[in-house]
Amino acid sequence: MATKNLPTRCPSCSNSLAVRQMACSACSTQLEGLFDLPLLAQLSREDQEFIVQFVLTGGSLKDMAKLWAVSYPTVRNRLDDLISKVNLAVNGEKK
């Protein structure tokens, strides 16, 4: 069975989505409220996968470049773009 991606943007207006309800699959306890998504969950699936690979390679951009068969500058640019996205999400500004 294919897994579904968690939507992070409203399909109507493109604003960030928030979680309204959560449920436990074991005991069926339900929580209702308005919960923000964690920062990493707000990133695209591709950005999340980049972060996972970054951690698994011990933060080595050189190893990531080899793994993905791309140049080091390509991986470095991808990391710089991700840093900008995180800065924007955290500080509301681009750095």
Secondary structure element (H or E) that encloses residue 32, with its range? strand 30-36
Q: What is the domain count for the chain? A: 1
Q: Report yes or no on 68 lying in a domain.
A: yes
Q: Report yes or no on 33 lying in a domain.
A: no
d(CA 52, CA 18): 23
3-44 tens-digit pLDDT: 677 788 889 998 888 889 999 999 999 999 998 888 998 888
Q: Report yes or no on 78 lying in a domain.
A: yes
Q: Report yes or no on 53 lying in a domain.
A: yes
Q: Report yes or no on 10 lying in a domain.
A: no
Q: Report yes or no on 7 lying in a domain.
A: no
**End-to-end CA separation in angstroms for the chain:** 41
CATH classification at residue 51: 1.10.10
d(CA 26, CA 43): 28
Structural domain boundaries enclosing 67: 39-91
Residue 68: pLDDT band (50, 70, 90) is very high
Q: Report yes or no on 32 lying in a domain.
A: no
